A and B are shown apart, each in its own frame.
Chain A
Amino acid sequence: RKEVEQDPGPFNVPEGATVAFNCTYSNSASQSFFWYRQDCRKEPKLLMSVYSSGNEDGRFTAQLNRASQYISLLIRDSKLSDSATYLCVVNAPSGAGSYQLTFGKGTKLSVIP
């Protein structure tokens, strides 16, 4: 089983739509979670951090379900500028009291006029 798994998409949605991405992780000891946004041929940029059950920032809501080991990202009222690849990132113990990030392969979103 992959450590961090995402639906690769692409998700093609019209402007104004609500879209949700899911991400599952295999290490039950994972402690913190992140969503990054990556535009084509650019670097990933931090979108949201999730340390407890969830986080909301404007049109973006991230939720964490520890029992089922998944994180979701909800985007409301999609804009053309939301078109990007969304990376799910999990911070899990790597031994000796240290933690390491593991990146999913990303879910591609295209918002269509």
Chain B
Amino acid sequence: DGGITQSPKYLFRKEGQNVTLSCEQNLNHDAMYWYRQDPGQGLRLIYYSQIVNDFQKGDIAEGYSVSREKKESFPLTVTSAQKNPTAFYLCASSPQAGHITDTQYFGPGTRLTVL
């Protein structure tokens, strides 16, 4: 049963703490992405990775970090430097990044709340 999984579904964090969101895919996709969605806003790209051990900043990378040590996994760390971390975080993957017919498929998301 192929797909993208994200955990946890809900996450609560105290101010000043770093937290890591998990994203795993078994679709054999090369590219993976992290987006943030705020109420009434479109998806904004945080980071993306086209291949293992390589990743690029998106439009709003400040206060976030990622790693891509395995093709299947692309965890996102929300650091204490991120000023407004409360949001819905979505991970996506696509067969290959930056392609003209690129279609992305999303995981179920993690809803992060900073207390």
Q: Which A residues form the contact surface with B (CB < 8 A)?
A: 4, 8, 31-32, 34, 41-46, 49, 51, 87, 91, 94, 97-101, 103-106
Contacts and interface: CB of A to CB of B under 8 A. Distances in A.
Given A105-B41, A105-B42, A44 B100 contact: no
A44 B41 CA distance: 13
Interface string B33-53: 001000011110100000000
A75 to B, nearest CB: 21
14 contacts: A31-B100, A43-B106, A43-B108, A44-B43, A44-B90, A44-B106, A46-B103, A91-B101, A98-B97, A100-B98, A101-B104, A103-B42, A105-B40, A105-B41
Contacts of B40: 8, 105
A91 B41 CA distance: 18
Interchain residue pairs A-B with the least CB separation, the first 3: A98-B98, A43-B106, A103-B43
B106 A45 contact: yes
B70 interface: no
Interface in B66-115: 88, 90, 97-109, 111
A99 B42 contact: no
Contact of A51 (B99, B101, B107): B101
A15 B54 CA distance: 48
A98 B104 CA distance: 15
A42 B43 contact: no
